[in-house]
Every structure is written in C-alpha cells, then in structure tokens.
Amino acid sequence: MMKTKKILGITALVALSLGFLYSCKNKEPSVVKIFVRSASNELVNGAKVVIIGDPSSNPPTLNYVDTVLTNDSGFAYFNVQPYYDAAGEESDVAYFDIVAKTSTKETFGTIRSRVHTTAVETVYLPN
C-alpha cells in the first residue's frame, strides 16, 4: 500500500513537472521587420522587399526567399517562423540578405534573426 502511494506521488510530480515545462515553451513568433527609407530619410510605402537566406553565413542559413511590399508605415513584415520550423530545433539563428527596390531605385542590406524574436533593420534607398 505504501509503495503504491509513493509511485502515485512520483507519477503526479512527473506529470506536473512536464506540464510546467510545456507551459514555459516560448510561443512568440519569429519575425523580421525591414524599414525602407528614402535618401531624405522618409519612410517609403510600396517598396518591394526580398529576404534571402545566406548559406555562406556562420552558422549557415538554409535556402529561404520571401517577398513583401512595405505598408503605409514604411516597413515590410516577414513571418519567418516557417523557416525555423523547417530548420529544426538546433537552428536558432538565421542570416538574411535584404534587397529593397522601388521602380527606379534599389538597395541592399543584411539582417540577423533569432527564433521567437523580432529582428528589425532599416535600409536606405540611394538618391
């Protein structure tokens, strides 16, 4: 009878511990925000922004490409959680090249992203 109570107590403790650990799992999205500004520092609406995974980075980033237009606030919002889902648990950092263009201008940049965080970068279009 005493052994049964001990086993039930240990089982309950393990179940509670596992529940606690699961509830602590980070559920924040993985996001990249790119602000596009003109040479005169004005935010640019409707710029085409492309992020490209950099396989030559350290650690290497898997092949990944996404394209978004900047919104009225002048930034492009990328949900990169699908990248981290595909990369697996051991990959918690990614490096992306940035290409931003309007009909007449183009600029480049880079950004480092971490899983479950929001990475922010600003690129400037030339005159």
pLDDT of residue 23: 46
Closest CA to 114 of 80, 66, 88: 80
Closest CA to 37 of 80, 65, 70, 79: 70
Closest CA to 75 of 35, 38, 109: 35
pLDDT of residue 27: 77
- The 10s digit of each residue's pLDDT in 17-36 is 555 544 455 578 999 999 99
Per-residue pLDDT tens, the chain, 127 aa: give them. 566 666 656 665 566 555 554 445 557 899 999 999 999 999 999 999 999 999 999 989 999 999 999 999 999 999 999 999 999 888 899 999 999 999 999 999 999 999 999 999 999 999 9
- The 10s digit of each residue's pLDDT in 38-53 is 999 999 999 999 999 9
Superfamily of domain 28-124: Carboxypeptidase-like, regulatory domain (2.60.40.1120)
- Alpha-carbon distance 17 to 5, whole Å? 18
Per-position b or e across 12-25, b if 16+ CB within 10 A of its CB: eeeeeeeeeeeeee
- Alpha-carbon distance 96 to 77, whole Å? 14
